[in-house]
Structure 1
Amino acid sequence: MLKAVDVMTKDVATIRSSATVTEAVKLMKARDWRALIVERRHPQDAYGIITDADIMGKVIAYGKDPSKVRVYEIMTKPCIVVNPDLGVEYVARLFADHHLLQAPVIQGELMGIVSASDIIGKSKFVELPRTILLEQELQEAIKKSHDICARTSPRSEECAAAWDVVDELQAEIAHQEAKRIEKTAFEEFCEEFPEILTRKECDEWCSG
């Protein structure tokens, strides 16, 4: 699974909250950036962000003089930050839920910035959608569970652990597709081999 660190842009600029919007615009134009990260004043302070949309909607749209407007007046602080190990599809979901186009990638310190353009341009969602990969993992996990249960015992800890992996994968797929699981793979296993496990045991396993 691609992570935020795999698609982020490392070339990121910071700016002081006391800087003017004119200074911010000059910095953004110099490298064709669409957002700047606002520096923290101390280690316990939060990062902020100022975007081209902020400048457009809060300065230009009202005819304000950018040399007299300070970054802190239009920035978002604290801003939503992304962990570098977060999967790309979850970054995309975070962006969708909070109407974001960019967010800093931080783990202790500023590592980069990830944008919607990075996600679309650098991820492999067209060639390898996450749901397809998860479905492949699920089928492999189901086969492995059958093999382990046949080799050990349907009542063994190894068999139970294998089906736990299957349950987790099914839950993740259901969450991705926003649908309810009607019947788990383990419930199907119980129906396929009723002579191996009693209904009571299947119900106990399925209920955790």
Structure 2
Amino acid sequence: MMLKAKDIMTEEVVTIRGSATVAEAVKKMNDLCLRALIVERRHEQDAYGIVTETDIVYKVTAYGKDPKSMRVYEIMTKPCIVINPDLGVEYVARLFAQAGIRRAPVIKETLMGIVSVTDILNKGDFVEKPKSILLQDRIEEAVQEARNICAEKGATSKECAAAWDIVEELQAEAAHQKSERIEKTAFEVYCEENPEAAEARVYDN
């Protein structure tokens, strides 16, 4: 089973009001050794925000502004990117990379926790179980399975076509992970040996 965001998140989330001063935020972060605070929502439809040490240093310290007179809402990011607790850790990492962020709240109806790049490094299982290797194993199993089904039910059967659909989904996922094009899918290789399978693949939806 792939580790999910909820498996590695930190459950104790410290929040602050958007109307609090930046000085209050700094004190909270220093007292609790935190790098970010989640900004509370004002009502049900409101979005969560986030204020990080970087926001404070880049937007307040760097300009010599007075943290006692500036408010959190002036420097926070809102709405912030939120993570579904069931999202696989690899996708949390990919989302962080694409968005250029280091941490995000984990939310499903309520605020459940916060997940950071440190959590991914410290608690992730990507060292023992790199996703690309696991995917490769699953693809090989699925190809074997598809070949068995097609041998039994026939190259033009719906079952055969459906089995190759699974293989292609897995191959597409592996290619997306590596950001490369698939030169030849397992199904195309199979079609070279069984040309009739290709015509049957254009089946009625």
- TM-score normalised per structure 2: 0.93
Question: Identity percentage over the alignment?
Answer: 62
Instruction: Look up the match of 2:176.
Output: 175
The reply to whether residue 2 of structure 1 matches residue 3 of structure 2 is yes
Partner Cα distance (1:184, 1:116) in 2: 34
In the alignment, is the contact (CA less than 8 A) between 2:156 and 2:201 conserved in 1?
no
Letter in 2 for 1:155: T
Deviation of 1:150 (Å): 1.9
Partner Cα distance (1:206, 1:21) in 2: 61
Q: Which runs of 5+ in 1 are unaligned?
A: none
Partner Cα distance (2:179, 2:188) in 1: 21
Partner Cα distance (2:39, 2:95) in 1: 20
Partner Cα distance (1:173, 1:150) in 2: 26
Dislocated runs of 4+, deviation >4 Å: none
Instruction: Look up the match of 1:133.
Output: 134
Instruction: Look up the match of 1:13.
Output: 14
Instruction: Look up the match of 1:159.
Output: 160
The reply to whether residue 55 of structure 1 matches residue 56 of structure 2 is yes
Deviation of 1:79 (Å): 0.7
Partner Cα distance (1:205, 1:28) in 2: 58
The reply to whether residue 202 of structure 1 matches residue 198 of structure 2 is yes
Deviation of 1:60 (Å): 1.4
Instruction: Look up the match of 2:188.
Output: 187
The reply to whether residue 46 of structure 1 matches residue 47 of structure 2 is yes
Instruction: Look up the match of 1:76.
Output: 77
Partner Cα distance (1:11, 1:93) in 2: 24
Cα distance change, pair 141–72 in 1 and its aligned pair in 2 (3 A) = same
User: Deviation digits for residues 48-96 of structure 1, max 9, x if unmatched?
Assistant: 0000111111111122221111100110111111111111111111111
User: Deviation digits for residues 108-137 of structure 1, max 9, x if unmatched?
Assistant: 111111111111111121222111110010
Cα distance change, pair 103–145 in 1 and its aligned pair in 2 (3 A) = same
Deviation of 1:152 (Å): 2.2
Letter in 1 for 2:153: T
- TM-score normalised per structure 1: 0.92
Q: Considering only aligned residues, what root-mean-square deviation do their CA atoms show, in Å?
A: 1.7
Give the total of aligned pairs.
203
